Each structure stands twice: as structure tokens, then as C-alpha cells.
Amino acid sequence: MSDSNASLTVGGATKDYAVMDGTVGPQVIDVRKLYANTGMFTYDPGFTSTASCDSGLTYIDGDAGVLLHRGYPIGQLAEQSSFMEVCYLLLNGELPSKGELDKFITTITRHTMVHEQLTTFYRGFRRDAHPMAIMCGVVGALSAFYHDSTDINDPAQRTIASHRLIAKMPTIAAMAYKYSAGQPFVYPRNDLSYTANFLRMTFSVPAEEYEPDPVIVDAMDKIFILHADHEQNASTSTVRLAGSSGANPFACIAAGIACLWGPAHGGANEAALNMLREIGTVDKIPEYIARAKNKDDPFRLMGFGHRVYKNYDPRATVMQKTAKDVLEKLGVNDPVFDVAKELEQIALNDPYFIEKKLYPNVDFYSGVILSAIGFPTEMFTVLFALARTVGWVAQWNEMISDPAQKIGRPRQLYTGPTERDYVPVDKR
């Protein structure tokens, strides 16, 4: 608690509200007593100035372009860590010893299979169903299979459910891809790393041996790290709100997947690559920049802008470098990458984008890499959901294990009709 207060005078009465300090970043004004004191609510649609909780998982300084997971900078984690180690860090708060990491990896590996009955859910979808629609349905359906890990008040069951979700998302995601491609599902293998296992389940076919390319495994693992968690974004807030009612973790993660799908959020990676392909060549960029600046045109530069980052998204920096490395190592010469780099340069020197502090975000370059690896654009947000599951699960655990947590129930500014009597239809 800070030693300063915030005073608010309403209707001639002045009340003090405690100011709370975090370990770093903006202080908060504790307004929990505001309604009792004033009969008024705060008003903040979109939560631009509202802290919904306290959390020790991820810190973002949007002006400085800083992203820390449990204090470790994202650039260092992306360059020196692994996705499994970042999962352990987010779940447990500290980097693991070698023994702790090996034990964690073994635990996750042994949860990668899904109940065989789950495969029948896929057959209920059309082959051309968007894989995010399949993810919403199949992940929600996990609630029907794992009754032994849905008691959210039992820490042991919360841990098992968390491990199951992290472990099974690659299997479920790969199955969604296989189903859309009309290829047979591929079972996980315990002798492969988390990310190599996912690539094999996605791209191998029974007709021939498949050896995951270490270049692609490394790039994919880095992409997973960059998407792991990101403070109280829309989908994480959805998971927390769903969890606050006591809903089981599988249902909560399914709610997060649904929210992530939106093009303003995780769906932006698919939209960004489609936009870059629509632009097609560098000479068409000015036309699209003009559209993005035109108030009467709903078009926005997908993969640009961010609610929190008013500087470079540090994830975009790593993603651009990874894109360059992967394209070079795979010998892929995708003109879309040139369009992306030129578009970024033009936008960053345009007064509109400078004034509104619009920079590339995590979604701007990811599609270039994923496309080079061989994923169809419809799979991009599925990969985002796969990686973000550890963040959702860690945030859910943090909330559920907080004894002070209660059901989330925002209020409103009512603008509808005041009370009036019912009028029978023959009198209207």
C-alpha cells in the first residue's frame, strides 16, 4: 500500500481512496468503496484505465516496449530459453533446475494423448470448418472427459488440469489441421520434444518417415515463447472472468479461445498475412496506408497498433529477426516479407502512425514465418491459442488460488427507458 491517498469530492463530500503500489509500473487507486461512498460507479468501457486484478506473472511497459515474464525480459527468454522452460517459469514463478525441468517435461509429455472418443468430435465438423471453430468445440468438450480434474478448489486437480491443457493443445491443434487437410490423425510420440512432437503430428503422413527440421523446431519454439502470456489482454480477461464463476478450467480456456479468435486480437495474425497478400507488391502500399488513415474507411493495418504498446512491441522485433532467419535457412523468397518490411518502414515514418504511436505488434510478422513453415493462414490463430494456453492457465491458477477473489460482475451506465407500464397489443 502506498502512503499516499487519492481524494475525491462528490456532492460536497470528500473521501480518500488508498493508492496501491506494485513492484513496478503504474500505481492504482483502490475504488472498491467508491459506490458505497458516493452511489456512483467508475466508467471505463474497454478498461483503458482499469486494473482488474493484481498479478505477478507478466509486466508490460508499453511506452518503453518492455515485456517481462516473472521478471525475465522476453528477448532473453526467446534467445536463451525454451517454451517448456517458460511454461514452468509462468506456472511456478522461478526458472527450474535441470532436474525440475526434466520432471516437468516428462509430466507434460505423458499427457499429450487425448481420449480416443475425442476424435469423433472432429467428424461432426465440415472439412472446411475454420480450425478455430473446431478448437472452441473440442477444448470445451474436454470438460466431459476429465471429471477427475475439474474441482477447482483442489490444488492437485488444478495442477493436473493445467498440465493436461498445456500438453493436449498441440495434439488437438494438429488434429484440427489434419481433419481440414483430409489426412489421418497422427498420435504424439514420447521421444520427441514438445514442439517437435507438434510439428510431427501436424506435417507427418503415414506414407513416409518424418524428421522435424531443427531450424523449424527452433523457430516454432521461439514463436510459442513470444505468445505465451501478455498480462490482462482480452482473452486472458475472458478466462479470468469465466473462472471467477467457478467454471471448470477446460470451459474457461475454451472461452479464451473464442475471444482470441477476433481479428482485433489473436485473429490479427491471419488477417495481417491476408492483408499483406492483398497488397501484393510494394507499389500498392501507399494505397493501403491511405485507407488505414481514412476515418471513413473501416480498413486498419492488421498487425499494427496496440492498446498497451505505444512503442515497438518487443515480440515483433524478435519475430522479424526470426522471419529473416527462417526464410534464409529454408531458402524461401516470399515477396510478402518484402512488402511487410517496406510497409513497416513507410508507416513508421508517416505522421499519422507516429502521432498515434502505431507500431508493428506480435501479429505483423508471425504469419510470414508460419506460412514459410507450411501452415495455412486459418491455422495461425490456432497456434496463438496453443502457445497462450500456458498464460491463460497460469493466470487462472493465480486468480483461483487468491483467497480474496470473487465473481467478476461489472456494473453499467444505464441509458435505456425509465419504468413504464405494459401496453396490450390492441392498444399500441
Rounded Cα distance, 185 and 183, in Å = 7
Q: CA-to-CA distance for 138 and 266, rounded, in angstroms?
A: 19
CB of 233 to ligand SDX, least distance (A): 3
Place of cell 475525491: 8
**Closer to ligand SDX by Cβ: residue 170 or 303:** 303
As given in the structure block, the three cell numbers for residue 9 are 469530492
CB of 362 to ligand SDX, least distance (A): 6
Residue of 128, 306, 338, 426 with catalytic role: 306
Cβ proximity to ligand SDX: between 41 and 47 the closer is 47
CB 63, CB 310: distance < 8 Å: yes
Cα gap 392→398, rounded to integer Å? 10
Least spacing, CB of residue 264 vs ligand SDX, in Å: 4
Nearer to ligand SDX, 149 or 366 (CB): 366
Nearer residue to ligand SDX within complex by CB, 16 or 297: 297
Classify residue 59 by burial, with Cβ atoms within 10 Å: 0-12, 13-18, 19+: middle
- The single residue of 221, 229, 313, 363 carrying the catalytic annotation is 363
SS3 (DSSP) at 211: coil
Q: 3-state class of 18 per DSSP? A: strand
- Rank residues 85 and 363 by Cβ distance to ligand SDX and give the closer one: 363
Q: Is 363 a catalytic residue?
A: yes
Query: For 15, which DSSP code?
Result: E
Coil vs helix vs strand at 82:
coil
Q: How far is the CB of 202 from ligand SDX (least distance, A)?
A: 22
What DSSP state is assigned to residue 63?
Answer: T
Q: For 381-412, b where at least 16 C-beta lie within 10 A, e where not — what string?
A: bbbbbbbbbbbbbbbbbbbbeeeeeeeeeeee
Query: What gap in Å lies between CA 428 and CA 426, rounded to an integer?
Result: 6
Q: Which positions lie near ligand SDX, rule CB under 6 A?
A: 230, 233, 264-266, 268, 292, 300-308, 356, 358, 361-363
Residue nearest to ligand SDX (CB): 305
Q: Give catalytic status of residue 221 as yes or no.
A: no
Report the nearest approach of ligand SDX to the CB of residue 277 (Å): 16
Which sequence positions are flagged as catalytic? 306, 363
